[in-house]
């Protein structure tokens, strides 16, 4: 009997995935409902986002721990009540969506969600269970503790990508460990979501992609905005690309015949 994991429905398509990183906006509206809808208008079925949670437990679709960089307000989200965070406007224009608003606004989309803080664990579990998102979500986090806490709280399995330390272990050990031990190490992982390089070392090669596939792991690369690099990575056999230039990746997907 094979030990290779069966991919969750999130990863089921046979063609490579195009994932809009924080949606698509040329006007600074990252992680806004407008940006996510713009990506779907280009043909995207997958979007990547992040969640941080307010002091009173409302999960917000937002990358940074603070409001400062992308909104007209300041402050640490985890230290502010929702009544204050809701006043912030991305690029001075658009309110930050709650996780609930985000899910409801995109009923056909599949979500790659990065859990940015411990306060977001319970709200994400609740949203997945309430809306039955198990087949539509990949749970990610730089922290395996947070990622595993979400997985442990769910009634059904979901796709998941590893945190930073587990990825470091994997790439350090994968040339040496036998497959059975590597599968055990990555027992709760379905996809490696990684950059092309780590600390100056190239980690995405034809050999590393083949190795991951032999273990039943998909490989998604972030964040790629150059069409030539997109094509090179697809030629290596990667299973998905995340991009801030959803327009350019959509063009590559159609050129290669992945999209009609």
| pLDDT tens-digit series, residues 66-121 | 999 999 999 999 999 999 999 999 999 999 999 999 999 999 999 999 999 999 99
CA 37 and chain centroid, separation: 17
Write the pLDDT tens digit of every residue in 94-103.
Answer: 999 999 999 9
251 is catalytic: no
Write the pLDDT tens digit of every residue in 9-37.
Answer: 898 877 899 999 999 999 999 999 999 99
Per-residue confidence band for 258, with pLDDT thresholds at 50, 70 and 90: very high
Write the pLDDT tens digit of every residue in 123-152.
Answer: 999 999 999 999 999 999 999 999 999 999
Percent of the chain residues topping a pLDDT of 90: 94
Rounded mean pLDDT of the chain? Answer: 95
Query: What average pLDDT does range 44-48 have in this prediction?
Result: 98
The answer to whether 74 touches 68, Cβ cutoff 8 Å, is yes
Write the pLDDT tens digit of every residue in 198-257.
Answer: 999 999 999 999 999 999 999 999 999 999 999 999 999 999 999 999 999 999 999 999
131 is catalytic: no
The answer to whether 55 touches 80, Cβ cutoff 8 Å, is yes
Query: What average pLDDT does range 175-185 have in this prediction?
Result: 94
Per-residue confidence band for 1, with pLDDT thresholds at 50, 70 and 90: very low
pLDDT at 6 over 70: no
Task: State the catalytic residue, choosing from 63, 131, 134, 251.
Answer: 63
CA 188 and chain centroid, separation: 16
The pLDDT assigned to 3 comes to 43
Percent of the chain residues topping a pLDDT of 70: 97
Task: Kindly state the tokens that stand for 49.
Answer: 């986002």
Q: Which CATH number fits domain 16-255: 3.20.20.190, 3.40.50.2300, 3.90.870.40, 3.10.150.10?
A: 3.20.20.190
The pLDDT assigned to 7 comes to 52
Concatenated DSSP letters of 82-146:
HHHHTT-EETTTEEPPBHHHHHHH-TT-EEEEEE-SGGGHHHHHHHHHHHT-TTTEEEE-S-HHH
The pLDDT assigned to 12 comes to 82
Per-residue confidence band for 4, with pLDDT thresholds at 50, 70 and 90: very low
The answer to whether 250 touches 259, Cβ cutoff 8 Å, is yes
- β-strands 191-194, 218-221: how paired? parallel
The pLDDT assigned to 14 comes to 76
pLDDT at 197 over 50: yes
Query: Burial level of 217, CB count in 10 A (0-12/13-18/19+)?
Result: buried
The pLDDT assigned to 209 comes to 97
The pLDDT assigned to 260 comes to 84
């Amino acid at each position: 009997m094979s030990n290779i994991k069966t991919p969750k429905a999130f990863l089921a398509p046979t063609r490579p995935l195009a994932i809009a990183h924080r949606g698509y906006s040329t006007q600074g509206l990252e992680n806004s409902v407008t940006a996510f809808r713009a990506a779907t208008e280009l043909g995207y079925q997958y979007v990547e986002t992040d969640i941080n949670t307010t002091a009173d437990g409302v999960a917000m679709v937002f990358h940074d721990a603070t409001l400062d960089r992308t909104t007209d307000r300041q402050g640490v989200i985890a230290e502010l009540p929702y009544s204050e965070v809701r006043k912030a406007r991305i690029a001075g224009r658009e309110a930050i969506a709650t996780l609930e608003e985000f899910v409801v606004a995109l009923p056909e989309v599949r979500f790659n969600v990065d859990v940015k803080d411990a306060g977001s664990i319970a709200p994400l579990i609740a949203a997945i269970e309430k809306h039955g998102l198990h087949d539509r979500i990949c749970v990610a986090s730089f922290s395996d503790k947070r990622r595993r806490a979400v997985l442990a709280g769910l009634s059904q399995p979901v796709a998941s990508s590893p945190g930073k330390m587990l990825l470091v272990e994997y790439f350090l050990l994968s040339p040496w460990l036998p497959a059975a031990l590597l599968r055990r190490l990555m027992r709760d992982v379905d996809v490696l979501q990684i950059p092309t390089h780590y600390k100056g070392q190239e980690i995405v090669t034809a050999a590393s992609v083949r190795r991951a596939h032999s273990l039943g792991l998909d490989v998604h690369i972030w964040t790629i905005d150059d069409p030539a690099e997109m094509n090179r990575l697809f030629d290596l056999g990667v299973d998905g690309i995340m991009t801030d230039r959803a327009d350019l990746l959509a063009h590559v997907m159609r050129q290669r015949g992945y999209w009609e």
